[in-house]
Amino acid sequence: MTVNPDETFYASCALKLTRWYEQNRRDLPWRRTRDPYAILVSELMLQQTQVERVKSYFVRWMERFPTFASLAAASEEEIISLWQGLGYYSRARSLHKSAQMLVSDGQETLPADPKYLARLPGLGPYTVGAVCSIAFDLPVPAVDGNVRRVFSRLLDLDADPVKKAGAAVIAQTAESILKHGTPHILTQAFMELGATVCLPNTEPHCDQCPVADFCASFAHGTQMQRPAAALRTKINRRLGAALLIGSSSGGWLIRRRPKGGLWEDFYEIPWLYGSENEDFAGCLERLREQLSSPCPCRDSGIEETLKFTRWQVRVRLYYAPIPAQIPAGIELADTEKMLAQPMPAGIKRLVERALEKVNENQLDLFAPRL
C-alpha cells in the first residue's frame, strides 16, 4: 500500500538523513572532493563495480588524469590499460569522449547544466543527477538500484519502481527531500543508507535506520516485499569453454575482439559460451569446429565465472597444442606480450591460473592426446 508523503515527511527525512549521514558516512576517496570531474569519474567507476574495488582505481586515475584536459590528451590504449580490471570498458571510452567534447567546446570542467550533461556520451539520468546534486548542490535526484530500494520501502511502493509510474513517484519524492535540505549531502545519504542499512536480498537493519519512524514498509512489515517483485532481475546462467593453445616453451594463440561489440579491441584466448543446457563438452566441441582445427585437448580443471548484469557464464579451460596451420584471425604471442594485452577480467584470470599450472610443469599439458 503506497503512502503519499507530505511536506512534514520531506522535511523530517531531510533532517534525520543529514544528521545520520554526517555521523555515519564512510570515508571514501571521492567524498573528499566536490570537483565535478572527480565526481563523474567515481560515479562511472562505481556503476556495476563494488566500492572496495573502485577505491584504488579512482586514486590511480586521478593521479594520472587529474583534469578533463589531461584525459582528453591521453591515448585510448592508455585509458583502457588504467581501467583494466574494472570491466564494462564502454564507461572508460565514454569518459574519454566526454573529455574530448568538453575540450572542443572550450569548457575546462563540467558546467552546472543538466541539459548539457545529458548530451555527454554515457551519462544517463542517474549520473547527471549524481553530478548535479553532489558537485553543484542542485536538487536533481540520482536514482539507482540502491535508491530505488530505499524509496520503495520508505513509501511501501506497490508499483514496479523501474516502470514509468513507480519511477515518477520515487523521483518526485527524492527531489522534494533534496529541496528541504542540502542536495550534496542528501544524495549521498540516500546512497549510503541503501548500501549500509537498507540492504538488498536480506532483512534491512531497520533498528539502525534514521528514517524508520517515517518508513511505511517498516510500519506495515513489508520490507522484504519491496521493491515490488517485477524489479528483481532474472540471471541467465550458461556454461562455456576456453582454449589455451600453445606450448610449454612459450607462444600462445590469442585473438582481438571485433569492433562494435562487447570488449571492443580487447584480446582473448579463443572461447565461447553455450546455448541453454549445453554442457562443457558441447561448448568445447563447437569451439574446436569454430577454429577448424583438430586441436587435441586436455582438461585443465580450471573454471572462472564471467559476470554480466543479466548473465553469468562459467567457463572451463582446456589446453591444446598449436596446430600446424594457425586459424584465421588468430595471432601468436609470447607470454609477456599476451599478458600485456587488455583482456576481459574473467578471461585474464583463466589465463593467469592456466599459466601457473604450466609453470608448475606438473604434466606435459600440451602433448597431443586424441
Q: How many residues bind ligand SF4 (CB under 6 A)?
A: 15
**DSSP SS3 for 335:** helix
Output 92 or 198, the one with its CB closest to ligand SF4. Answer: 198
- Residues contacting residue 240 through CB under 8 Å, at least 6 positions apart: 271, 272, 273, 274, 283, 306, 313, 314, 315, 316
Helix axes 90-104, 76-83, angle to 10 degrees: 140
Task: Please say if 43 is a catalytic residue.
Answer: yes
The owner of cell 585443465 is: 300
Is the CB of 68 or the CB of 190 nearer to ligand SF4? Answer: 190
Secondary structure class of 239 (helix, strand, coil): strand
Among 91, 153, 298, 316, binds ligand SF4 (CB under 6 A): 153
Task: List residues bridging with 330 in a β-sheet.
Answer: 255
By CB under 6 A, what part of segment 189-248 binds ligand SF4? 197-198, 204-206, 209, 211-212, 215, 217-218, 223
Distance between alpha carbon 91 and the CA centroid of its chain, in Å?
Answer: 9
Q: How far is the CB of 155 from ligand SF4 (least distance, A)?
A: 10
Instruction: List the one residue from 150, 185, 291, 338 that touches ligand SF4 (CB under 6 A).
Output: 150
User: Which segment (33-41, 137-145, 150-158, 241-249) binds ligand SF4 by CB under 6 A?
Assistant: 150-158
- 266 within 8 A of 291, measured Cβ to Cβ: no
Query: 268, 347 in Cβ contact below 8 A?
Result: yes
Cβ pair 131, 42 in contact under 8 A? no
Which single residue is written with the C-alpha cell 612459450? 250
Residue 127 vs 223, nearer CB to ligand SF4: 223
Closest distance of CB 186 from ligand SF4, Å: 14
Beta-sheet pairing, 252-256 with 271-273: unpaired
Residue closer to ligand SF4 (CB basis): 168 or 224: 224
Question: Which of 84/223 has CB closer to ligand SF4?
Answer: 223
In the complex, least distance from residue 212 CB atom to ligand SF4, rounded to whole angstroms: 4
DSSP state of 134: I
- Active-site pick, 7, 22, 43, 304: 43
Per-residue cell: 101: 567534447
Q: Based on the shown chain and the rule CB under 6 A, indicate whether residue 154 belongs to the binding site for ligand SF4.
A: yes
Q: Minimum Å distance from CB 218 to ligand SF4?
A: 4
For 175, residues 6+ apart whose C-beta sits below 8 A from its C-beta are 139, 140, 141
For residue 39, the minimal CB distance to ligand SF4 (Å) is: 25
Catalogue the active-site residues: 43
Q: Which parts of this chain interact with ligand SF4 (CB under 6 A)?
A: 150, 153-154, 197-198, 204-206, 209, 211-212, 215, 217-218, 223
